[in-house]
Structures are given as structure tokens and as C-alpha cells.
Amino acid sequence: MTSVLVAEEEEESELSEKQKVEIAKWFLLNSPPGEIQYVAKDVKSILKDDGVFNEAASEAFPLYNKSHFIVLPMPDRSGDVLVTSFGELEDNAFLDPRTAQVAIVDHVKQVCEVVRPALDEELASAYIEEFRFSLDAEILKYVEEVYPKGVCSVYCVNGKDAEGSGFDFELAVVISASRHSPQNFCNGSWCSVWNIDFKDEQQTVEVKGKLQVGAHYFEEGNVQLDTKHECKDATLFQAPEDCALAISSIIRHHETEYLASLEASYLNLPDSTFKDLRRKRQPPSQLTATPWKAPQ
């Protein structure tokens, strides 16, 4: 009778295949920047079920790649492609507006397999392209100056078929920079997205930014940082070159300000956050002494 009950309990405690997939996906999606391949290797060895792992990986990797804005070199060495939902055409095809090419990627292997020319309908109109091209040039100069190994791209996400003034449209600036140094037990990433809303009737340009910094230090411990920040600004609707200069100045200002605030927070950690984590010592007047007694 006892053996039967034990067998029933073991059967009830066994996870279903769907539960295993969801748990595996959670671990993969919560991998620190640049470490999903290491996590995947461990998850696969624990599962010991290629079918479950492949299902989890096929669902988790695309989401992870797009949320972390990973950068993949194109096989023809014509540049890098950002894996982001702003440039996503299909499940594994991503537009690179700067080179007018479409990269076909393998999400799980995290490689760009092939590149093809973009179709006309996949690109913005000549009118929109003037604004996109001018902004892309200014953002590229900014990123090359500020972010080592940083990559950026400017996409048209709304109104790409506008043929002239009188229409609203929206561009998105994506900046991705990372430093992966597993041999030194640390990895880090910077991701920022700027939605640029051109309002023709009001003759204004609204700028909304979402900034995210992630870091992982794991030498003799496990310390992770995941911080996010949002901001907004505005400027006048002007000629493409003038708009590009104004928008890039706004982005530079807010990102510099946010980085300065992060640095200030780090300097205050020993005197604020870490200090609060430690047990507060009582002053001598509040301490009660316990008489010492010799052991019997």
C-alpha cells in the first residue's frame, strides 16, 4: 500500500511537458545581457529532452533577441543589423534601413544567415527618407563618439508612404551598446529607444525616450543591475537637416543626464543603499550587559 501511495505522489509531482517548456522559457528570457547561450546550455542539460528544449528555445530566443536589441554582423560584411521589432518584417527577417537590405537571421544560433535587397514596399517614401536619412547620419556620429562598439538605426514606424508635407509620421531611433567580458566575470548592455512623432498640423516634433541599462558581475558572487528610465521632450518641425540636429541634441542631453545620475548613484551606494542593508548598531547606552558565568 505504501509503495502505491509513493508512486501516485511521484506521478502527481511530475511536471507536464507544457510546464517544463514554460519554466525553461522563463530561465532563457531572464538571462543577463549576452549570456543566453550559457543559460541555454545549462537548461538543455537539465531537461535532457531535446523536444522540450527546442520548443522553449524557439519561443524564447526571438523575444530575448528583440528585447535586448542584439547586433549581428551581415555575412557580406556590409554592416551590422539590429534585431528589433521596429525593423521586423517577418519572424526571422529584419530590415536595415541604412543599407536598404533585409537580413535573415537564425534566432537560436544568433547569426545572420543571408542578406537580400529590400523591396520598394519595405522602404519609406522619398519624402520620409529625407528625414530618416538626415537623422540617421546625426545619430551615427553621436553613437560613434559616445558608445564604444555602439550600433544604431533609424526606422520609419508610421506614415512611411507619405509623399509630401501635410501628413504625420513617426520615426524610431534605436541605440544598442554592449560590453561582454565573461573572462572577467562581467557583462553589460545599454539600450535606448526614441520615438520621434512628427506632427505636421502643429508643426512640432514630440520625442519620447526609453532607456535601459543591464549589467551582471559574477566573480565570487552574483550581482545584477537592471534599471529603466523614461523621458520626453519636443522641438519644432523644420527641414530634415535642422530636425536631425535638434533631435540628436535632445537625445544627447537626456542620455548624458541619465548616465550622470547613474554614476552619482554608484558613488552613493556605500553610504546609502549598502549602509541600509546592514544591521544598525545600537549606541552603548542601549546595550545591556549579560554577566559572564563560568561553565558548570
Q: Indicate which CATH number applies to the domain containing 97.
A: 3.30.1140.60
2 falls within a domain: no
pLDDT over threshold 50, residue 226: yes
Q: Are 95 and 129 found together in one domain?
A: no
Q: Are 27 and 85 found together in one domain?
A: no
Cβ–Cβ under 8 Å, residues 197 and 208:
yes
Number of domains forming the structure of the chain? 3
Q: Are 113 and 152 found together in one domain?
A: no
Q: For residue range 101-146, what is the model confidence (pLDDT) as tens digits? A: 999 999 999 999 999 999 999 999 999 999 999 999 999 999 999 9
The residue range of the domain holding 116 is 71-120
275 falls within a domain: no
Cα dihedral 87, 93, 99, 100 sign: negative
The whole model's pTM is what? Answer: 0.83
Q: Are 37 and 160 found together in one domain?
A: no
296 falls within a domain: no
49 falls within a domain: yes
- CB count within 10 Å of CB 226 equals 12
Q: For residue range 236-272, what is the model confidence (pLDDT) as tens digits? A: 999 999 999 999 999 999 999 999 998 887 776 656 5
Cα separation, 157 vs 162, in Å, equals 12
